[in-house]
């Protein structure tokens, strides 16, 4: 029996099952690159058929059956792979091409999603390859969708994904051992955070916010948390994403112009996401020593809970930043600390704090933007004008550049 659902419902269903189906094929047959192509074909077939014919009672079983057939067709088409095809056939269960009865499934547990994430974030891959392969294999996005999100030609993204698949070819499909699992999980979380950050504040192009990437990062992080509900870093990262994305509707004006945090209409913030994120922060802080994601989420919660910019608890935010930069020294976190320091101790004192960041962030537009803001607050309008102009030249994001140019124009005599 089949059930009907709308196009959006089918899309959500396919993205939820995609990593599990791919994991089932890779575990059973190997051949990650060929299996990934076969799963994509099965997903496309489902996207065409299910909205018209209805969703099967066991959608995952349907996808595994169709993808398995496509994979075997690919292997048979390549004479050089005939031996591997025979090996795979010997491993194939007798009923592999029959969908299980409703309510049953031979697919491995959801742990395959995490195993697949570990594979896509293999240390042999560069960060760009990790991100692309994760969005393709685990996120279920097409190459064209990933290319549009990163503002590169589809052919360029296809090559990036092909190189990534070639590098992980032959890598065992299993989770890392206890000796390096924490380090590998940290890479997975870093990749998810990179995807989210690129969605929340695009590094280039006309749009400030790429909602598809931000939402996909949140969805994937939710998946990881379902598998690792007691991991503080995972919980903290999900909280941080939710609390940050909750402000997205207020970050731009009617013409796409950037609106800074202290000028945003807080009535537009997503209170449901803030409530969920705040609850997750409390949970994360109770799941062991607080790391970077938990601390950043706690800072985000203080911003989101404040009724106005003036009501923000800046001393508490500065205290959290002090802990953050001690435990996880990172230039951008230190830059955020300087902003909090200015709100507590004044802009002139904060300008002096920037000196320690000159070596590591020299030439980065964010350093120039913060300096410009502090100099303006301190009354050094000429210095602020130069810093705003320098920052505007340094960013590839058109909304950020326009905002910085606007700030500079306001200081002209």
**Size (the chain), residues:** 413
So what's the pLDDT on residue 116? 87
CA–CA–CA angle 28, 195, 265 (5° rounding): 140
Note the pLDDT tens digit of each residue in 303-317.
999 999 999 999 999
- Neighbouring residues of 54: CB distance < 8 A, sequence distance ≥ 6: 2, 3, 4
229-247 pLDDT, tens digit per residue, is 999 999 999 999 999 999 9
3-state secondary structure of 119: helix
pLDDT at 87 over 60: no
Mean pLDDT of 56-61: 86
Do the beta carbons of residue 270 and residue 249 sit within 8 Å? yes
181-200 vs 232-245: helix crossing angle, rounded to 10: 0
Identify which of 8-22, 74-88, 198-212, 327-341 has the greatest average pLDDT. Answer: 327-341
Nearest to 240 by CA among 199, 189, 280: 280
Q: What is the pTM of this model?
A: 0.78
Query: Which residue do the tokens 């570990």 mark?
Result: 118
Which residues 6+ apart lie within 8 Å of 322 measured at CB?
337
Pairwise pLDDT comparison (106 vs 123), residue with the higher score: 123
Q: Give the helix/strand (H/E) hosting 205.
A: strand 204-205
Residue 103 pLDDT? 41
């Amino acid at each position: 029996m089949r059930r009907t659902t709308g196009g959006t419902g089918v899309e959500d269903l396919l993205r939820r099952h995609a990593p599990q189906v791919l994991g089932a094929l890779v575990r059973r047959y190997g051949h990650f690159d060929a299996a990934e192509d076969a799963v994509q074909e099965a997903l496309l077939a489902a996207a065409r058929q299910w909205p018209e014919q209805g969703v099967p009672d066991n959608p995952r079983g349907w996808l595994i059956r169709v993808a398995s057939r496509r994979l075997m067709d690919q292997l048979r088409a390549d004479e050089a792979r005939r031996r591997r095809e025979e090996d795979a056939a010997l491993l194939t269960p007798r009923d592999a091409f029959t969908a299980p009865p409703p309510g049953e499934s031979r697919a491995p547990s959801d742990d395959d999603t995490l195993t697949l994430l570990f594979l896509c974030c293999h240390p042999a891959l560069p960060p760009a390859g990790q991100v692309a392969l994760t969005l393709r294999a685990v996120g279920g996005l097409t190459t064209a969708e990933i290319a549009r999100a990163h503002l590169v030609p589809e052919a360029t993204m296809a090559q990036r994904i092909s190189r990534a698949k070639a590098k992980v070819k032959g890598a065992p499909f299993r989770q890392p051992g206890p000796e390096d699992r924490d380090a590998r999980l940290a890479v997975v979380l870093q990749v998810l955070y990179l995807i989210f950050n690129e969605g929340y504040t695009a590094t280039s192009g006309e749009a400030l916010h790429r909602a598809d990437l931000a939402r996909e990062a949140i969805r994937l992080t939710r998946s990881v948390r379902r598998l690792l509900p007691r991991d503080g870093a995972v919980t903290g990262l999900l909280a941080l994403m939710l609390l940050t994305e909750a402000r997205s509707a207020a970050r731009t004006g009617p013409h796409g112009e950037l609106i800074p945090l202290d000028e945003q209409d807080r009535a537009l913030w997503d209170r449901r996401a803030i409530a969920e994120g705040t609850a997750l922060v409390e949970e994360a802080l109770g799941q062991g020593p607080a790391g970077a994601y938990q601390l950043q989420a706690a800072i985000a919660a203080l911003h989101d809970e404040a009724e106005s910019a003036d009501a923000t608890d800046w001393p508490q935010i500065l205290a959290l930043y002090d802990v953050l930069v001690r435990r996880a020294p990172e230039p951008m976190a230190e830059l955020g600390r300087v902003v909090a320091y200015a709100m507590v101790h004044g802009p002139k004192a904060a300008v002096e704090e920037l000196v320690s960041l000159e070596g590591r962030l020299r030439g980065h537009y964010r350093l120039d933007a913060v300096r410009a803001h502090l100099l303006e607050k301190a009354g050094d309008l000429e210095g602020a004008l130069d810093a705003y102009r320098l920052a505007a030249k340094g960013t590839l994001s058109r909304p950020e550049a326009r905002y910085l140019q606007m700030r500079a124009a306001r200081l002209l005599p």
